[in-house]
Amino acid sequence: MVGTAVDAEGEQTNDQNVDLHEGIKNVQSNNDFETTYNNLKSSIEANQNISVVAELDHQQNAENAGMELRPTRIIMFGNPNLGTPLMQSKRSIGVDLPQKMLVWEDEDGTVHIAYNDPVFLKDKHQLEGNEEQIEQISNTLQNLANNAGGVE
């Protein structure tokens, strides 16, 4: 089915096994859920180089389906000046773009900020070059997460 969709043959590899939590950065917030999420969104909106693309409230969606879920929201954002060169190098990385951060509260009330590690994505998609963009994205994501969570 994939081959038909992209007019190519699928390829199975054994060298890209992913361990649990590999490729995911997690920052524990010192703030409550709402403060963390609002800090994150405000930081993104205040940064002229990135813009919010979409937001999704998983808790609300679960509630709409008659189910319960602790506070969980994802915000997607991007900077085409950084993302486009990555996709020009390896189109498959578009599956992981735009960037996204998940803010969630665990069972003991601890709030987490999780996001894809850009270095892992570089390896996952076998990008060659683009070190400057990957470093800039990594630094931005880490700074956003730390600021949102009140982490130094």
pTM for the whole thing? 0.85
What are the pLDDT digits (tens) for 73-110? Answer: 999 999 999 999 999 999 999 999 999 999 999 999 99
Output 19 or 119, whichever has higher pLDDT. 119
Short-list 78, 88, 147, CA closest to 116:
78
Please state which architecture CATH assigns to domain 23-149. 2-Layer Sandwich (3.30)
The residue ranges of every structural domain in the chain are 23-149
Q: E strands of the chain, at which residues? A: 24-28, 51-57, 72-78, 99-105, 111-116
Output 46 or 12, whichever has higher pLDDT. 46
